[in-house]
Structure 1
């Protein structure tokens, strides 16, 4: 088998199984007796082990197998799913994830897993693991060595129409990957039955610690010939002997032990039934995996189409040809539908980002000796892939801030009449052409006096100006670089480099972040993000002899004002806009735009009123061209520091228009 041919598939599916194990382990910690959760974790681990064995990654295979034994001990009530055991399983999953990522980066997928293997083995030494749906470790396949539990499993299966078979397999002498062949044989057999015993034990089979022959016991409804045929489909199998096991002389145990074992059998059958239903439900789901680079290439081609469409519209207006105009209008409708489809294809649920937070919250809460529950709402909300890739780090900072600064310790919460366990809610939802993500906690809230004193001490504001600040403006000080309300520097906080990073990253995505808080009740951080960054709606304006684009998401309205209505306040030109004093800013002066000398002094001024959070500004322009959908193009690394410009676009006539960053101007 050519390993590289399946490497991408192995990495992608391994990541999915690791994420699934993480999610179900977190649920298992709160509901340790839920057998369905244990079954889901076991299936993910078992599949991951089989894939790793087939690909030849022995350390992942060994660690996953040992983890399977412990999981099966939980499933069979040999072990209790307490925090200590789950911590060890989490540690195992972390190692598996690191090895998978190492493989993705071109490594060999090895790691020093001896310490976590010893921890897993310690649980095994404290109690015998009995496996039902996987494979049993036993010194011999002879029916005389079946214990009472195994005999009950077989007997109950026979009553339900299953037949026990002893299967002896001999591989060819020149077989290279014996462990891989064993896994493949197990896979074909488990499609038609349950393997309940092997000789030699499973770990020896996976470590290739056997000659060329091994035996197993399987419960199946198929005939011996059908089993024989299935096994021979696996390459490098030399000989197969399938014989039916006669258990007429064996007697079933009675009493409470039997009742417990029968219940376990029912759970196995329920699991098998659920698996079959899952296969049925997924078989009708017609989906394919598409590399994001292909979607990016498709978007780039569509962007060029949008530019050409704008050019055609302009030519149609100039020629005034009815047939051309009709064709362009039809093309506009088609391109609008095409744009909707392409943007929908690029949309992915925020669940992809949210999935990694429960583990992080659990670990950080334990480090800080706090009890925290994370509630996730709206994880199905969709965002463009380009935005999804960027919001992970800002949300990590906000969650860490809520755990460290927001939620109190259990003792403090009890004193304040709150439950010991704090709650952090991560809520995503659509509103208009934006997505909002809120991180809220039921903690101590923000002490405005503490924030002000820290800001004055750091020189962020003066003591005099601090007296005029509103509550919202005080909260906004938390986003200042170097400001932290923590007295001591720790691994989590105290350096003041968290929230300022959040604000700059969110604003670079065309979004905004605001804070609301109630002291003693909790705090909410609200992040507003655009649905997509590739194609945006803008207002085209003329400034001097140049054209600029102002994003519609920033515009409140456009207006015409008289020069005599301009006022002055603190050496700044302002206007009265609906009862609010709004600064008046000349784009011509900001961008030093050349002026058309033929134009004289105008009695009226054209302004665009824009908003950034609660702050507003009126931008003076020469004229309005109109609303248009444009393709956002980055300026590149050489022009990344250009003031108040977030990108550029190519208009229909081939002219380049710069896109104004209203957030920077207002700031």
Structure 2
């Protein structure tokens, strides 16, 4: 019997069961006496074992069988849950998940399951000493594996590495061994860092910077380092530091797996080479087996088919615009009625297609409780993750892209926002820190908030580092508001080296977060109160393909301004325009708003159509708190437009996010208001 025809079904159902097991294990950890949850996990594991055995994935079936035996003992009250048992079960689930993603990539799903199997058997036999020592050995193995590979680098560190490589930089793995006679190890490590940071950027250190500073290491440490200099130059530079015994340097080749960041510290998975997760597959499964709808009422559709349907419909929208224009010009009653009816029908069709593509953010949020649990454990912190609005829906293409920025912000909050329990207690806070992840709709946008009740951001620290890095000059720095200081965290090249750990650094990769969100047509901002916490706010469009826009005319050219950026349109008399710092400005409801001439920005040739009117048409647009007035010749009106990219030959055109074809066949460029507002 050919099993390939069942492979897709096996993969989808396995992901559902694994998600359900992970979610239920987290509940079980907080409610160890909840036998109903154990039964749920047992049922999912049992189904998974049967499916794996049927499909011929023996390693997966045998590992799941051993996990099932442990769960069976727990539910029959023959075994009490403790931290070591939970860790072994979590590791086993991670390894099974790794096998599933190996199968997705065309592998045979095999893996070395001997260690987790022996640990699970030791639990069944009651030999907990073997389990505890097995856990310690697994942790050592992770450290060893991380030295050779970059398994525990998250997607943003990898993105930074890839971008650095593409920009012509060299990537090195450096291992520095100090002499045994070295008295001040932390000082020597600092001198090595100091030398290296003069010529490049340290992306990661093992042990962490904090451990190095506190001399919590023997005589060696490892770094991943980006630089323009050669291997020989770097080696000489490090060897020049006194009391350095040996320097090993290897060139790092960056692979391009879409690493699921919560796998970054998985003990067993780190020893396996099955860690890639295609973005399109990563969130395809419904939220969990528990919520599975009866198969008679749902059907799984390949996302590519929905993309094709969307593209075909967007062509229809263009033709609809053309027909509406022709019917106005011809003026025949029957034609107008038919076109109106067609417009209504296609509007309904558009809503249905967009709704079909909408997916609850729950699919992204589901992976975070497990990640937060592992991270808090690694950092010896107590963290409670609260999730609100997981049912909020977003376009599928956006869902696939927001996971990694959110992972980075969450890791950031836990690592640098939330303080250690003792410090929180000293400051009169509960020992357990709270991180809130909230999603909600507002207008044509979805907002996602990552909020922690930690230490907040040190304005002085951010300013000091920004001045050191030349991001702002000292004169300007004095006039910056708190909000503007926090925005410096997103500046390219900004990092606060003192706080970089192996988890994240407040600032490291935040420029990548910003670039990713803005590439989706969204924006990200940060606000913080010292001692009370920090809030990151992400604003995203509901969909990326069809947008509502205001059409405007400049000379003979037409431009589309997205409605989501517009506050209002207005007409000002020329004598209302003032000059401030050699910049034309207007008074808009008590606020000074700079004017931007689209004719000047896009160098539109003068057709001599300019009237000597005493009035100027202005579109007031905003980006966060900032506003600007776009000066145009006239307003044409509001219209639904299809966003088309300009193709690979016209990348990075300033202030243009794409183009659309209008009803009369003309091409109108779509203005990126974010780029116009500095």
TM-score range normalised by the length of the shorter chain: 0.7 to 0.9
Q: Verify the 8 A CA contact 1:78 1:127 in the aligned structure 2.
A: no
Give the distance between the partners of 1:463 and 1:80, measured in 2 at CA. Answer: 61
For 1:529, which of 540, 565, 569 is the aligned residue? 540
Cα 1:630–1:64, aligned 2, differ >3 Å: closer, same or farther? same
- Mapping 1:263-342, distance limit 5 Å: 283=294, 286-342=297-353
Cα 1:541–1:279, aligned 2, differ >3 Å: closer, same or farther? closer
The match for 1:234 is none
Q: Verify the 8 A CA contact 2:553 2:559 in the aligned structure 1.
A: yes
Q: Verify the 8 A CA contact 1:372 1:422 in the aligned structure 2.
A: yes
After TM superposition, give the deviation of residue 601 of structure 1 in Å: 4.0
Q: Which moved more, 1:446-455 or 1:62-71?
A: 446-455
Give the distance between the partners of 1:557 and 1:281, measured in 2 at CA. Answer: 45
Runs of 4+ aligned residues of structure 1 deviating over 4 Å after TM superposition are 278-285
Q: Verify the 8 A CA contact 1:481 1:496 in the aligned structure 2.
A: no
Q: Verify the 8 A CA contact 2:555 2:610 in the aligned structure 1.
A: no
The match for 2:98 is 98
Measured against aligned partners, the alpha-carbon deviations of 1:262-303 in whole angstroms (never above 9, x if no partner) come to xxxxxxxxxxxxxxxx99995596111111111111111111
After TM superposition, give the deviation of residue 359 of structure 1 in Å: 1.4
SS of the equivalent of 2:586 reads strand
- Mapping 1:574-653, distance limit 5 Å: 574-653=585-664
Measured against aligned partners, the alpha-carbon deviations of 1:386-416 in whole angstroms (never above 9, x if no partner) come to 1111111110111011011110011111101
The match for 1:138 is none
The match for 1:403 is 414
The match for 1:17 is 17
For 2:555, which of 518, 537, 544 is the aligned residue? 544
SS of the equivalent of 1:63 reads helix
SS of the equivalent of 2:498 reads coil
Give the distance between the partners of 1:457 and 1:36, measured in 2 at CA. Answer: 57
1:494 aligns with 2:534: no
Measured against aligned partners, the alpha-carbon deviations of 1:483-537 in whole angstroms (never above 9, x if no partner) come to 2345053222238432111112112212122222222111111111111111110
Give the distance between the partners of 2:372 and 2:292, measured in 1 at CA. Answer: 33
For 1:568, which of 573, 579, 596 is the aligned residue? 579
Q: Verify the 8 A CA contact 1:567 1:575 in the aligned structure 2.
A: yes
Q: Verify the 8 A CA contact 2:500 2:506 in the aligned structure 1.
A: yes
Q: Verify the 8 A CA contact 1:645 1:661 in the aligned structure 2.
A: yes
1:352 aligns with 2:363: yes
Measured against aligned partners, the alpha-carbon deviations of 1:310-331 in whole angstroms (never above 9, x if no partner) come to 0000000100111111111111
The match for 2:522 is 511
The match for 1:480 is 491
> Is the radius of gyration larger for structure 1 or structure 2?
1
Give the distance between the partners of 1:511 and 1:360, measured in 2 at CA. Answer: 25
The match for 1:390 is 401
Q: Verify the 8 A CA contact 1:548 1:659 in the aligned structure 2.
A: yes
Q: Verify the 8 A CA contact 1:606 1:621 in the aligned structure 2.
A: yes
Q: Verify the 8 A CA contact 2:416 2:506 in the aligned structure 1.
A: no
The match for 2:239 is none
After TM superposition, give the deviation of residue 597 of structure 1 in Å: 2.1
Give the distance between the partners of 2:436 and 2:110, measured in 1 at CA. Answer: 37
Q: Which moved more, 1:619-628 or 1:75-84?
A: 75-84
The match for 1:111 is 111
Cα 1:495–1:299, aligned 2, differ >3 Å: closer, same or farther? same
The match for 1:455 is 466
- After superposition, the CA RMSD in angstroms is 1.9
Q: Which moved more, 1:43-52 or 1:455-464?
A: 455-464
For 2:448, which of 437, 460, 464 is the aligned residue? 437
Cα 1:466–1:377, aligned 2, differ >3 Å: closer, same or farther? same
Give the distance between the partners of 1:279 and 1:528, measured in 2 at CA. Answer: 31
Cα 1:282–1:554, aligned 2, differ >3 Å: closer, same or farther? closer
Cα 1:649–1:426, aligned 2, differ >3 Å: closer, same or farther? same
Give the distance between the partners of 1:454 and 1:108, measured in 2 at CA. Answer: 49
Q: Verify the 8 A CA contact 2:448 2:538 in the aligned structure 1.
A: yes
After TM superposition, give the deviation of residue 552 of structure 1 in Å: 0.3
1:48 aligns with 2:48: yes
Measured against aligned partners, the alpha-carbon deviations of 1:460-502 in whole angstroms (never above 9, x if no partner) come to 1122211111111111111112223450532222384321111
Q: Which moved more, 1:652-661 or 1:482-491?
A: 482-491
Cα 1:430–1:494, aligned 2, differ >3 Å: closer, same or farther? closer
Q: Verify the 8 A CA contact 2:555 2:609 in the aligned structure 1.
A: no
The match for 1:197 is none
Q: Verify the 8 A CA contact 1:483 1:495 in the aligned structure 2.
A: no
After TM superposition, give the deviation of residue 306 of structure 1 in Å: 0.7
Measured against aligned partners, the alpha-carbon deviations of 1:338-379 in whole angstroms (never above 9, x if no partner) come to 111111111110011001111111111122221111111111
Give the distance between the partners of 1:435 and 1:488, measured in 2 at CA. Answer: 32
1:658 aligns with 2:660: no
Give the distance between the partners of 2:462 and 2:664, measured in 1 at CA. Answer: 52
Gaps of 5+ in 2: 129-288
Q: Verify the 8 A CA contact 1:448 1:475 in the aligned structure 2.
A: yes
The match for 2:76 is 76
Q: Verify the 8 A CA contact 2:412 2:506 in the aligned structure 1.
A: no
SS of the equivalent of 1:559 reads strand
Give the distance between the partners of 2:392 and 2:675, measured in 1 at CA. Answer: 29
Give the distance between the partners of 1:6 and 1:484, measured in 2 at CA. Answer: 48
The match for 1:172 is none
Q: Verify the 8 A CA contact 1:28 1:81 in the aligned structure 2.
A: no
1:374 aligns with 2:385: yes
SS of the equivalent of 1:619 reads strand
Q: Verify the 8 A CA contact 2:20 2:290 in the aligned structure 1.
A: no
Equivalenced residues, count: 518
After TM superposition, give the deviation of residue 637 of structure 1 in Å: 2.5
Cα 1:447–1:10, aligned 2, differ >3 Å: closer, same or farther? same
Give the distance between the partners of 2:454 and 2:620, measured in 1 at CA. Answer: 38
Gaps of 5+ in 1: 129-277
1:423 aligns with 2:434: yes
